[in-house]
Amino acid sequence: MHRLAEYRGAGSRAKARRHEGKGDPSIGRRVEVRPATLKRIGGGGLLVLAAAGAAWSAVDSAADEGANPVAAGLTSDPIRGVDGSTPFNDAIDRILRCRTAGREDCVGVVYVWSPSMPLSREGIVEIGRATEQLRIDLAVVEASEIEARAEALFPSDGAPTPERRLKSPEDALTSEMIAAGATVHQPSILVHRSGSLVGSAILGYKTADAYRAMVEERLRGDTAAPMRPTGSLPVVNDSVEWTKDYSVSGRPGAYFRSVAGRQALAYEAGGTVYLLNLRDGETSVAPGFVDFVPTPDGRLFVTPGANRRGLEFYDADEVFEAAAGGRGRRIDPIYVDRQLRDQYPSVGILETEALGAGRRTVYRVLTSWFDRIVFRDYEVQGDETGGETIVRPLTDRVAACPRVSIPILGPSGRELAGRDESSATTKIYSLSERGECQEVSDLGVQTGKVAWSPDGGQVAFAVPRGAVRDGSGTLWVGRDADLAGIYLYERDSGRVDLVDGSNDAQRLAFPDFVSPDSLVFLLSPESRRSAFRLVCCVSP
């Protein structure tokens, strides 16, 4: 019988003692990596798996001698370059040399990461393990290099002609990478064979085993569906009445969330979680290091614990009080579930009811991708006047939706939206208690993480420049003829609107709802500062 763990702690105005749920000790078990396979790079102390074998130059000698480059140990050090990555030009050159050699067994992976996405840095180790096991080449590319190349090819002052865009094999391959989804999310991985991309990009942080399985599927052709056209251009939403920008220091991560009832945003920058007050623009420090996600009612925060300790729950009242007093980093979680050690949490509310002087709420929390998408339900009871708080798991972990990446749970807890790796498009699924996922709708375009409106009737998402095609297969690029920006999908009507003025959104932008008709998103950074933009009103 599954043991229900619970915590009875002090109310929101007193320091809560910590409880760690006693989960299955096998959950989250990682394969040990021999110290000899790890290499430290850069000033930040990043540990990266150095693949075994010769450098990429082996492809030339192997091709000349007629040898199998994979059997000959064709794996490369993924950490060349001053920033810890393979220079993008080198990665392009590797693929094109495979094309020239015409070898079916010339196979590799391009891993695209971004400093603003902490898990994409951590994933370098995982993809390194996977490619070492598969004995295929690995190039680790920093996303800004692809963006710089795209800006040179597709200047924002207009759309270049196809002749200009495809004037060289290098330009054409860059365009194909962007269209495949390399810039939609970080990390993203592109699989190539014989000098050609195999299907669309695989998005999101995953374990080595998951990466290996998905790469193998790509190479078998099981899930390598070609990119689909997006169809007609959307209507531009011209109902925007006003915008307000909030300048912040540093480079916020793309996965930030609005806190219901607080007029605040929770975001990560440089491994620290901040709370941005939307009333006065001031920031304060909160607990955690990444993905500090509020519940839809603003009552709690959930976040992955450091060192995969487990999913941590924090009382929102306590967090905001401590943050205002400069003690945000020094408070303890009210509950830690050691069975959910994964990333990318999102939360829905299954039910809520008054309970004497307090309230009882059942939350569903979804995470991914330590080895799969999983969710678990929790009962939370508490006295809203500062009394006892109880967090109690109601179910064991439930696995859901194979081959869906970067999922976000809907506010009802009974739907999710994520990227179908078979079609490379974002879909909405209904979610059963047993984890069965039934497709409800297909947005028909690849996106990053979506945001749900408070009532679940709308979905907002971003599309980076050059990441979609029209029906003729031509890339849409440039500021005027571009499909890039923040979109609003009205579920009842099926209408999709491009939010007016959102072309300035950061390329890696995951918007969120601040209210039923207001959205917030990141602008492209300038100098050492960034800015969040609040837009009202966006409902069709």
> 124-141: per-residue pLDDT in tens?
999 999 999 999 999 999
Side chain identity at 507, as an amino acid letter?
A: R
Q: What pLDDT band is residue 423 in, cutting at 50, 70 and 90?
A: confident
pLDDT at 249 over 50: yes
Distance CA 139, CA 78 (A): 5
Cis, bond preceding 369 (omega within 30 deg of 0): yes
Beta bridge mates, 21: 337
Which residues on neighbouring strands pair with residue 484, listed in sequence order?
Answer: none
Question: Interior CA angle at 344 toward 360 and 288, to 5°?
Answer: 75
- From 3-7, 97-101, 341-345, the region with the lowest mean pLDDT: 3-7
355 vs 339: which has the higher pLDDT: 339
% pLDDT > 70, the chain? 73
Q: How far is CA 134 from CA 71, 121, 128, in A?
A: 11, 21, 10
| Closest-CA residue to 310 (of 1, 528, 5, 2) | 5
Taking alpha carbons only, the member of 513, 507, 505 closest to residue 532 is 505
Per the CB < 8 A criterion, the answer to whether 375 and 366 are in contact is yes
> Sorting pLDDT into bands at 50, 70 and 90, what band is 421?
confident
Mean pLDDT of the chain: 77
Q: Provide the token pair at 418.
A: 């994520």
Region 310-320: mean pLDDT is: 95
Backbone angles phi, psi at 65, to 5 degrees: -90, -5
Helices (H), 191-315: 208-220
Span 495-509, average pLDDT: 80
Q: Which CATH number fits domain 35-220: 3.30.2130.10, 3.40.50.620, 3.40.50.300, 3.40.30.10?
A: 3.40.30.10
- How far is C-alpha 258 from the geometric centre of its chain's CA atoms? 17
pLDDT of 26-67, one tens digit each? 222 222 222 223 232 222 323 333 332 323 333 333 333 333
Neighbours of 238 (CB within 10 A): 9
Q: What is the pLDDT of residue 136?
A: 94
Cα distances (angstroms) measured from residue 327 to each of 64, 273, 412: 64, 13, 33
Q: Which among 488, 512, 506 is positioned nearest to 238, based on CA atoms?
A: 488
Residues across the chain: 540
Nearest to 395 by CA among 372, 377, 371: 377
List the helix and strand counts (H, then E) for the chain.
8, 35
Residue of 199, 181, 222 whose CA lies nearest to 402: 222
Answer whether residue 516 shows pLDDT above 50.
yes
User: CA-to-CA distance for 384 and 404, rounded, in angstroms?
Assistant: 37
Task: Summarize pLDDT for 279-305 with one digit per residue, the tens.
Answer: 999 999 999 998 999 999 999 999 998
Q: What's the pLDDT at 110? A: 96
pLDDT at residue 197, as a whole number: 92
* Average pLDDT of the residues in 385-411: 88
Q: What are phi and psi of 153, to 5 degrees?
A: -80, -40
pTM over 0.85: no
Would you state the structure tokens that stand for residue 521, as one six-digit string?
């998103």
If you ran DSSP here, which 8-state letter would residue 341 be given?
Answer: -
Neighbours of 251 (CB within 10 A): 18
Number of CB atoms found within 10 A of residue 194's CB? 15
Q: Is the pLDDT of residue 411 over 80?
A: yes
62-121: pLDDT as tens digits: 333 333 333 223 333 333 333 457 899 999 999 999 999 888 889 999 999 988 888 888
Contacts of 151 (CB under 8 A, 6+ apart): none
d(CA 228, CA 446): 10
Question: Which of 497, 508, 480 has the alpha carbon at shortest distance from 535?
Answer: 497
List Cβ<8 Å contacts ≥24 apart for 438-444: 440/415, 441/491, 441/494, 443/489, 443/496, 444/228, 444/230, 444/231
- Strand runs (DSSP E) across 175-280, as ranges? 188-193, 196-197, 202-203, 235-237, 242-249, 257-259, 264-269, 272-277
Does residue 233 register a pLDDT over 50? no
Contact 327, 339 (CB under 8 A): no
* pLDDT tier at 3, thresholds 50, 70, 90: very low
CA of 330: how far to CAs of 19, 259, 287, in Å?
Answer: 16, 21, 7
Residue 368: partners with Cβ closer than 8 Å, 6 or more residues away: 204, 342, 343, 344, 374, 405, 406, 407
Give the residue from 96, 219, 487, 296 showing the smallest Cα distance to 202: 219
Cα angle value 105/106/111 (rounded, 5°): 125
Contact 60, 72 (CB under 8 A): no
- Give residue 141's pLDDT: 94
pLDDT value, residue 79? 35
Contact assessment for residue 477 and residue 165, using Cβ atoms and an 8 Å cutoff: yes
* The pLDDT of residue 146: 86
| Beta strands in 270-420, from DSSP E residues, in sequence order | 272-277, 283-286, 293-294, 300-304, 311-315, 335-337, 343-355, 358-368, 373-383, 389-393, 398-400, 404-409, 415-420
